Structure 1
Amino acid sequence: MTHDRYTTPGARLTWSDVSEWVDAAQRIDGRRLSEARNRALAAHGAAMPRELIDRETHVPSLEAAIELLKYGPPGLARPSKGERANHPTTPIIMELMNRLAVLKRRDEMGTGNNWAAIFGGSDANSA
């Protein structure tokens, strides 16, 4: 199964899963401090599409992405309390946390109608 390649706006870095997104974020963070680096980090943080999160099955990758978006370098990390509501990373963090919760609960509940009703998603009928 082939997946789309996504590109960080203005940075020419591509990725096709959450692990590669984390690697790209670390590459940007490793650049010399500059306004361009900060813009690239901000663009990268806002560029993770929901369909990428929905198909992710690797728990450590999700945890690494959440860690970067919550506590990572300035520009990538979410802002302080009171400024998060309209920030582009807020819905991405929530999607990552929800996907992580689904994957961690997968072994607790068998697949079938209950799974699909509660969690939905493309893996509702997969074990």
Structure 2
Amino acid sequence: MLTENFKVRFYETDGLAHVSNTVVVGWFEAGREPIFKMFTPELDLTNWPLILASYKVDFVSQIFYGQEVEIRTYVSRIGNSSFETYQQVWQQNKLCAEGTATLVRFDYGSQKAVAIEPAIREQLMSHYIDLSKK
């Protein structure tokens, strides 16, 4: 599991004093940065090796301003060229949101998916969670 903590910023709240639902997707993206570094340690945008294929977010509980959140990131599936992350937002020891994202190792030059190398596959496996046992 990878973790990242964020302070909830005032501008991330909506008119009901809750965190806006669009913010969680951004937190999840930031929480995947250590995974991005497995593929490109320098985060070289001119040679980016991944593409986002899909994401889904479920909102479980309200998230509030003034309290830190923790983003937990796991790898829940690894295929030949794609993998899935499972992420959670926790605030005050309470699960507030969870979601999945499917990413594909992608060659932008050929516009095709390419296999994930064994060394990267090993790194991804070190953060694996079996969702059937969640």
Give yes or no for TM over 0.5. no
Point out which structure has higher relative CO (alpha carbons under 8 A, 6+ apart).
2
Q: Where is the strand percentage greater, Structure 1 or Structure 2?
A: 2
Q: TM-score, normalised by structure 1?
A: 0.21
